[in-house]
Amino acid sequence: MSDDEIERALRDCKTIAIVGMSPKEERPSWGVARFLKSQGYRIVPVNPGHAGETMLDETVYGDLASIPDSIRIDMVDIFRRSDAVPEIVDEALANLPGLSIVWMQLGVEHAQAANKARKAGLTVIENRCPKIEIPRLGIRPKAA
Protein backbone atom coordinates (compact mmCIF):
# COMPACT_ATOMS: atom_id res chain seq x y z
CA MET A 1 0.00 0.00 0.00
CA SER A 2 1.57 3.25 -1.11
CA ASP A 3 1.46 6.49 0.85
CA ASP A 4 -0.64 8.01 -1.95
CA GLU A 5 -3.25 5.25 -1.60
CA ILE A 6 -3.37 5.62 2.18
CA GLU A 7 -3.65 9.40 1.89
CA ARG A 8 -6.46 9.16 -0.67
CA ALA A 9 -8.38 6.69 1.50
CA LEU A 10 -8.11 8.88 4.59
CA ARG A 11 -8.95 12.11 2.73
CA ASP A 12 -12.09 10.71 1.11
CA CYS A 13 -13.38 8.95 4.22
CA LYS A 14 -15.97 10.57 6.49
CA THR A 15 -17.49 7.84 8.68
CA ILE A 16 -15.54 5.01 10.31
CA ALA A 17 -16.94 1.95 12.07
CA ILE A 18 -14.52 1.02 14.86
CA VAL A 19 -14.91 -2.76 15.23
CA GLY A 20 -13.79 -3.91 18.65
CA MET A 21 -13.89 -0.46 20.25
CA SER A 22 -13.35 -0.59 23.99
CA PRO A 23 -15.01 1.72 26.52
CA LYS A 24 -11.69 1.79 28.41
CA GLU A 25 -9.80 5.01 27.73
CA GLU A 26 -6.44 3.28 28.13
CA ARG A 27 -7.14 0.86 25.25
CA PRO A 28 -5.71 1.64 21.78
CA SER A 29 -9.16 1.43 20.13
CA TRP A 30 -10.53 4.19 22.35
CA GLY A 31 -7.50 6.43 21.78
CA VAL A 32 -7.58 5.96 18.02
CA ALA A 33 -11.34 6.61 17.90
CA ARG A 34 -10.95 9.77 19.98
CA PHE A 35 -8.15 10.95 17.69
CA LEU A 36 -10.18 10.23 14.53
CA LYS A 37 -13.15 12.12 15.97
CA SER A 38 -10.86 15.08 16.80
CA GLN A 39 -9.81 15.11 13.14
CA GLY A 40 -13.40 15.51 11.97
CA TYR A 41 -14.32 11.92 11.20
CA ARG A 42 -17.55 10.45 12.51
CA ILE A 43 -16.87 7.29 14.43
CA VAL A 44 -19.36 4.46 14.90
CA PRO A 45 -18.38 2.14 17.76
CA VAL A 46 -19.03 -1.60 17.25
CA ASN A 47 -18.81 -3.90 20.27
CA PRO A 48 -21.40 -6.61 21.06
CA GLY A 49 -20.77 -6.39 24.80
CA HIS A 50 -21.69 -2.70 24.88
CA ALA A 51 -24.46 -2.42 22.27
CA GLY A 52 -26.88 0.39 23.05
CA GLU A 53 -24.40 2.28 25.22
CA THR A 54 -22.55 5.39 24.09
CA MET A 55 -18.83 5.90 23.56
CA LEU A 56 -17.43 9.28 22.61
CA ASP A 57 -21.04 10.53 22.29
CA GLU A 58 -21.87 7.89 19.66
CA THR A 59 -24.23 4.92 19.95
CA VAL A 60 -22.49 1.56 20.14
CA TYR A 61 -23.77 -1.17 17.80
CA GLY A 62 -23.42 -4.88 18.47
CA ASP A 63 -22.26 -5.69 14.96
CA LEU A 64 -21.94 -4.12 11.52
CA ALA A 65 -25.34 -5.48 10.46
CA SER A 66 -26.99 -3.45 13.25
CA ILE A 67 -25.76 -0.09 11.96
CA PRO A 68 -28.77 1.71 10.44
CA ASP A 69 -28.84 2.25 6.69
CA SER A 70 -29.04 6.00 7.39
CA ILE A 71 -25.38 5.89 8.52
CA ARG A 72 -23.12 5.46 5.48
CA ILE A 73 -19.94 3.74 6.61
CA ASP A 74 -16.89 4.55 4.47
CA MET A 75 -14.30 2.60 6.46
CA VAL A 76 -14.27 -0.38 8.80
CA ASP A 77 -11.32 -0.08 11.21
CA ILE A 78 -10.66 -3.51 12.78
CA PHE A 79 -9.36 -3.81 16.35
CA ARG A 80 -9.72 -7.59 16.59
CA ARG A 81 -7.40 -10.55 16.24
CA SER A 82 -6.44 -11.53 12.71
CA ASP A 83 -8.50 -14.73 12.86
CA ALA A 84 -11.67 -12.63 13.35
CA VAL A 85 -11.09 -10.63 10.14
CA PRO A 86 -12.81 -12.98 7.62
CA GLU A 87 -16.12 -12.85 9.49
CA ILE A 88 -15.89 -9.06 9.83
CA VAL A 89 -15.12 -8.63 6.11
CA ASP A 90 -18.02 -10.92 5.16
CA GLU A 91 -20.40 -8.99 7.42
CA ALA A 92 -19.16 -5.66 6.06
CA LEU A 93 -19.58 -6.75 2.44
CA ALA A 94 -23.10 -8.02 3.15
CA ASN A 95 -24.34 -5.02 5.13
CA LEU A 96 -22.43 -1.85 4.25
CA PRO A 97 -23.15 -0.86 0.64
CA GLY A 98 -21.20 2.42 0.83
CA LEU A 99 -18.07 0.82 2.25
CA SER A 100 -14.86 1.65 0.42
CA ILE A 101 -12.06 0.82 2.91
CA VAL A 102 -11.17 -2.07 5.18
CA TRP A 103 -8.45 -1.02 7.61
CA MET A 104 -6.70 -3.57 9.83
CA GLN A 105 -4.85 -2.17 12.81
CA LEU A 106 -1.23 -2.78 13.79
CA GLY A 107 -0.61 -6.50 14.08
CA VAL A 108 -3.81 -7.40 12.22
CA GLU A 109 -3.53 -9.07 8.82
CA HIS A 110 -5.44 -11.71 6.90
CA ALA A 111 -4.44 -12.37 3.28
CA GLN A 112 -7.57 -14.26 2.19
CA ALA A 113 -9.99 -11.76 3.72
CA ALA A 114 -7.96 -8.88 2.28
CA ASN A 115 -8.08 -10.44 -1.18
CA LYS A 116 -11.82 -10.99 -0.90
CA ALA A 117 -12.33 -7.31 0.01
CA ARG A 118 -10.07 -6.17 -2.83
CA LYS A 119 -11.97 -8.34 -5.32
CA ALA A 120 -15.14 -6.59 -4.13
CA GLY A 121 -13.52 -3.27 -5.08
CA LEU A 122 -12.46 -2.10 -1.63
CA THR A 123 -9.20 -0.49 -0.59
CA VAL A 124 -7.52 -2.69 2.02
CA ILE A 125 -4.90 -1.43 4.46
CA GLU A 126 -3.29 -3.95 6.81
CA ASN A 127 -1.04 -3.67 9.85
CA ARG A 128 -1.23 0.13 10.08
CA CYS A 129 -2.87 2.72 12.30
CA PRO A 130 -4.64 5.86 11.05
CA LYS A 131 -3.58 7.70 14.23
CA ILE A 132 0.00 7.23 13.04
CA GLU A 133 -0.61 7.67 9.31
CA ILE A 134 -2.62 10.92 9.45
CA PRO A 135 0.12 13.02 11.13
CA ARG A 136 2.92 11.19 9.28
CA LEU A 137 1.36 12.08 5.92
CA GLY A 138 0.09 15.53 7.00
CA ILE A 139 -3.48 14.65 6.06
CA ARG A 140 -6.37 17.05 6.55
CA PRO A 141 -9.47 14.94 5.87
CA LYS A 142 -12.44 16.24 3.89
CA ALA A 143 -14.53 15.52 6.97
CA ALA A 144 -12.69 18.20 8.97
Whether 88 is covered by a domain: the verdict is yes
Whether 143 is covered by a domain: the verdict is no
Whether 33 is covered by a domain: the verdict is yes
Whether 65 is covered by a domain: the verdict is yes
Its pTM stands at 0.94
Each residue of 112-127: pLDDT tens digit?
Answer: 999 999 999 999 999 9
What is the rounded CA–CA span in Å between residue 124 and residue 117? 7
Whether 71 is covered by a domain: the verdict is yes
Q: The domain that contains 88 carries what CATH number?
A: 3.40.50.720
The domain in which residue 130 lies consists of: 3-137
| 144 residues of the chain, pLDDT tens digit each | 899 999 999 998 999 999 999 999 999 999 999 999 999 999 999 999 999 999 999 999 999 999 999 999 999 999 999 999 999 999 999 999 999 999 999 999 999 999 999 999 999 999 999 999 999 999 876 554
Whether 144 is covered by a domain: the verdict is no
Domain count, the chain: 1
Backbone phi and psi for residue 143, each to the nearest 5 degrees, phi listed first: -65, -25
